Amino acid sequence: MTTEPITVLGAGVMGVGITTLLAAHGLPVRLVDTAPEKLTQAPGRIRQELRMAQLMGALPPGREQGEVTPHSDVAAVRGARLVIEAITEDTDLKKAVLSEVSALISPGTPMISNTSSIPIDELADAVRRPADLIGTHFMNPPALIGTTEVIRGARTSEATLDAVRGLLREVGRRPVVVRDAPGFVTSRLLHPMINDAARVVQEGTASAEDVDALMQGCLGHPTGPLRTADLIGIDNLVDSLWVLLKRTGDEGCRPCDLLLQKVADGHHGRKTGHGFYTYEESTI
């Protein structure tokens, strides 16, 4: 195990969650975001996620926490042990940032994208060394979800895959390695299903509460698809559905009007306090 920090790019829902998981396992993290308010909010949100994970018994007891330092510049990737990109689900933006990162780090430093849907090999076109790029699809909240989908791109090296397996072992996650494709396994299955659940509400067949109650009570879905949409972030879900539609042509991936309306209204789910449900300030 090395003590060089891991740099996490993006202090949104996932960047904060991944940072929480790493820090809870004693790993130092540099957390980077271009939005100053995200960096200001991050320590409080990390404390809250840590408290929740500890209450649920999901973290190793008695482990000294890794230091988390905030940064506003991507140059914070220099000298990192590895880099985890968790910025907005926008292909051009991710390509631009990963390209910049790959020019700043030394060869062999693993670059991990936490994209929900964009094929890794497509992102690899933007970096200097495609062999160093891999996908790890941490899900929200990373400290509570014990399994992580790992996406091996066509050009990802064995060394990069080994490094990611090692990291996941260190933080107590079980990797499941899959081949590269739009949405991989989890988003390819989950996101169109959530879109359909929203369409059912849009068509007036049932309320969001009743859709979730049926999916939980009859089909064993842990939280219900629409509560999951709120947890993911409806803006992020819609971005991911567009990525899937564009690359698969599957019309089931076209975001339904209700999802688009919620994004336009700023009702992005838990992170904005409103989505399919309303959240108290203290639980956001």
List active site positions. 137
Q: Distance (Å, rounded) from C-alpha 272 to C-alpha 284?
A: 8
Closer by beta carbon to ligand NAD, 137 or else 155: 137
98 binds ligand NAD (CB under 6 A): no
Residues 99-118 within binding reach of ligand NAD (CB under 6 A):
114-116
Q: Distance (Å, rounded) from C-alpha 54 to C-alpha 270?
A: 21
272 binds ligand NAD (CB under 6 A): no
Provide the mask over 5-34, with x wherever binding to ligand NAD is found by CB under 6 A and - wherever it is not. ----xxxxxxx----------------xxx
Report the nearest approach of ligand NAD to the CB of residue 68 (Å).
Answer: 15
Number of residues that bind ligand NAD (CB under 6 A): 28
Residues 32-51 within binding reach of ligand NAD (CB under 6 A):
32-35, 38
Residues 241-270 within binding reach of ligand NAD (CB under 6 A):
none
Token reading at 2? 């090395």
Closer by beta carbon to ligand NAD, 193 or else 206: 193
Provide the mask over 124-143, with x wherever binding to ligand NAD is found by CB under 6 A and - wherever it is not. -------------x-xx---
221 binds ligand NAD (CB under 6 A): no
Report the nearest approach of ligand NAD to the CB of residue 226 (Å).
Answer: 14
Report the nearest approach of ligand NAD to the CB of residue 62 (Å).
Answer: 29
Backbone angles phi, psi at 17, to 5 degrees: -65, -40
Site stretch for ligand NAD (CB under 6 A), options 23-31, 40-48, 85-93, 172-180: 85-93
Closer by beta carbon to ligand NAD, 60 or else 266: 266
Closer by beta carbon to ligand NAD, 11 or else 126: 11
Contact 40, 65 (CB under 8 A): no
Closer by beta carbon to ligand NAD, 14 or else 201: 14
Task: Give DSSP secondary structure letters for the chain.
Answer: ---SPEEEE--SHHHHHHHHHHHHTT--EEEE-SSHHHHHHHHHHHHHHHHHHHHTT-S-TTPPPPPEEEESSGGGGTT-S-EEE---S-HHHHHHHHHHHHHHSPTT--EEE--SSS-HHHHHTTSS-GGGEEEEE--SSTTT--EEEEEE-TT--HHHHHHHHHHHHHTT-EEEEEE--TTTTHHHHHHHHHHHHHHHHHTTSS-HHHHHHHHHHTT--SS-HHHHHHHH-HHHHHHHHHHHHHHH--GGGSPPHHHHHHHHTT--BGGGTBSSSB--GGG-
Closer by beta carbon to ligand NAD, 24 or else 76: 76
Residues in contact with ligand NAD by CB under 6 A are 9-15, 32-35, 38, 86-89, 93, 97, 114-116, 137, 139-140, 232-233, 236, 240
